[in-house]
Homo-oligomer: A and B are copies of this chain.
Amino acid sequence: MPTSSEYIKRIEQALSSYLPKEDGLEADVCKAMRYSLMGGGKRIRPILTLEFCRVCGGNLYTALPFACAVEMVHTYSLIHDDLPCMDNDAMRRGRPSNHAVFGEDIALLAGDALLSLAFETMLSPDSAGTAAEDRAVRAAGILARASGATGMVGGQVIDLQNEGKQVTADVIQQMDEKKTGALIVAAAQMGCVLAGADGNQTAAARTYARSVGLAFQIVDDILDVTSESAVLGKPAGSDLANQKFTYVSLLGLERSRELVEELTQQALSALNAFDEDTEFLSSLARKLAVREH
């Protein structure tokens, strides 16, 4: 079983290799794509794809183009989220956001191109050659659905339209399940599909990912209140400043922390569906629950 840093190294090598050459007239957009895609991050989504492929008995490197595709979709969504017409964030992961470096127009197009590159990576004969075609179609279809209007983009819309409004926990949960959860669930599910897992294991992967994803978001909300900007790598207290309702503002810190613990327990239970060693995934769920940035 690879370690987390072995996974990250292999993922980042692959991500770099899938990026377009920077030698044409369109070099600037390629540089902007590389800037954000290779700009760090925890790589949790692609790790989930690889590791679920492995615990379902698949060859995890067959899943590598698909894992990278999920990370490309995640990265494009961050670039677009930071744009002035969206959250207008000048910083991301402790350095200037994409549009602050490359301008709004190139940043917009770099996001667009990363979304196309995600599908090109999964579907081109060069990169995706080793996955069986029926599994490739299913996995890429899962990512397409999770990224769109009823998935991640839908979550961004719910987020935008409820900023500064008094909302219920149900709205926040729908927002989180779509905005961040959909992609995390898709990442895990794709790993199972690429390994040819049965429906029982795929459902367990979804439960794990949904619980981890929701816990991840609640921890984000907690850290926004309790952490300092230097540790977070982005401005702390921004939810409050933006009048965002979060789990913490609705449920309070204590209940939010309990909820993280409950969700982490759900994630750990779901791992019983797998015969292979799931130590990596259980450790990941625990680490994400107690992270500080």
Q: Which residues of chain B have C-beta atoms less than 8 A from A240's C-beta?
A: none
Copies of this chain in the oligomer: 2
In Å, the complex CA distance between A117 and B111 comes to 16
At the interface, yes or no: A288 with Cβ under 8 Å from chain B? no
At the interface, yes or no: A133 with Cβ under 8 Å from chain B? yes
**Contact B123–A137 (Cβ < 8 Å):** yes
Query: Do A154 and B85 form a contact, CB below 8 Å, given A117-B148, A141-B123?
Result: no
**Contact A105–B150 (Cβ < 8 Å):** no
At the interface, yes or no: A20 with Cβ under 8 Å from chain B? yes
In Å, the complex CA distance between A26 and B141 comes to 21
**A47-55, A156-164, A201-209, A269-277 - the one binding chain B:** A156-164
Interface on chain A toward B: helix, strand, loop, or mixed SS?
Answer: helix
**Contact A154–B29 (Cβ < 8 Å):** yes
Min distance, Cβ A66 to any Cβ of chain B, angstroms: 12
Min distance, Cβ A278 to any Cβ of chain B, angstroms: 29
A interface residue count range (under 10 / 10 to 19 / 20 to 34 / 35 or more): 35 or more
At the interface, yes or no: A30 with Cβ under 8 Å from chain B? yes
Min distance, Cβ A107 to any Cβ of chain B, angstroms: 8
A118, closest chain B residue (CB): B144
Interface centre among A28, A76, A153 (most CB of B within 10 A): A153
**Contact A80–B25 (Cβ < 8 Å):** no
Interface centre among A86, A150, A171 (most CB of B within 10 A): A150
Chain A residues with CB under 8 Å of chain B are: 20, 24-26, 28-30, 33, 76-77, 80, 83-86, 104-106, 108-109, 111-113, 115-117, 119-120, 123-125, 128, 133-134, 136-138, 140-141, 143-145, 147-151, 153-158, 160-161, 171, 174-175, 178
